[in-house]
Amino acid sequence: MNRRFAWIQIVPILMLGAGIWTYRHTQNEVRMQLVRAKQWWRDGESTAAIDLFQSIKQRHAQSHYAPEALWELAQIHFYSLARTEDAVGYYGELCTGYAGTELSARACLTQADIVEKELDDPERAQALWKAVLEREADESLREEALFRLGASHFRSNENKEAEENLKRLLEAPIDPIRAQQSRVMLAIISQIDGRYRESVRLFREVLDRGDCPDCKLQARLGLIQSYEFLNDLNRAIRIARDIPVGDFSAEMKDDLVNRLLEKSRYDKP
């Protein structure tokens, strides 16, 4: 009786061990299939690679390999087959179906970028970025989506919407580079709207921080323009002369300074 009882106790342990072995074996097999499919893609066998990635996605949809298979499907369709809409579909499936994974976050942003730049559909891209903001998402993903949404409105000359989103972005601690890029766009919007003193303040904030060399060059050139609009040519000339060597060619810098000096002489009463 005791032996029978002991055997009954051992059975669940054996079943658990068998289950663990089966799971590990399956996971190893799927991992090898991913490696094989990637190699086929590198070798130019896109059709075979797609079939295997599709199989992994369908048969192991709940595994952590499914997002990787979806990502590779999107990459193949975009880069190798130039089937942009299909790629957007795969990025979208990864974005919404596997929220919380690293690849999902990348897919959300990549999907919207392709829609805006390759399909020339900024409104659709903006709707995709807004969808990221409306759902529960990692804070860094929400930050990046908000920045790209604001930048998209900026490129579309939708200054009111751009300003609203970029200001929201600066209300919380964010990546320093994104903050600098946002300030530059906000300064340019202020300049376009004739708010030159506000643009000066924002451009100055960019110069006062050490991040993003490209932003600082844009801020210097923007400040020169704003001071020209404010008829403060002496400050514009000082900023032009202070442009570091390497940011601007010596010839372009000299031309800029000389133009401002000539304008200053012409504008004197």
CATH number of the domain that 219 lies in?
1.25.40.10
Residue range(s) defining the domain that contains residue 258: 175-269
> How many alpha carbons lie under 13 Å from residue 137 in its C-beta half-sphere?
27
State how many domains the chain has: 2
Query: Are residue 132 and residue 215 in the same domain, yes or no?
Result: no
**Chain mean pLDDT for the chain:** 87
Rg of the chain in Å (alpha carbons)? 28
* 222 occurs within a structural domain: yes
Within a domain: residue 247?
A: yes
What is the Cα–Cα distance from 243 to 213, expressed in whole angstroms?
Answer: 12
Residue 53 corresponds to which tokens in the numbers above? 């990635």
Residues 150 and 216 in one domain: no
Tokens of 182: 């946002």
Is the confidence at residue 267, as pLDDT, over 60? yes
Residue 206 CA, distance from chain mean position: 21
Q: Which of 132, 163, 194 is the last residue of a domain?
A: 163
Taking the C-alpha atoms of residue 182 and residue 58, their distance in angstroms, rounded to an integer, is: 41
- Quick one: 90 and 144 in the same domain? yes
Beta-strand (E) ranges in 71-210? none
pLDDT band at 90 (very low <50, low <70, confident <90, very high): very high
The verdict on 69 and 139 lying in the same domain is yes
Q: What is the mean predicted confidence (pLDDT) over 133-141?
A: 81
pTM for this entry = 0.82
Same domain (yes/no): 120, 186 = no
Backbone angles phi, psi at 245, to 5 degrees: -65, 130
Residue 220's closest CA among 232, 234, 202?
Answer: 202
Q: Are residues 153 and 207 in the same domain?
A: no
Same domain, 251 and 230: yes
* CA–CA dist 138, 200 (Å, integer): 34
What average pLDDT does the segment 256-261 reach?
A: 93
User: Are residues 182 and 263 located together in one domain of the fold?
Assistant: yes
Domain boundary residue among 138, 163, 188?
Answer: 163
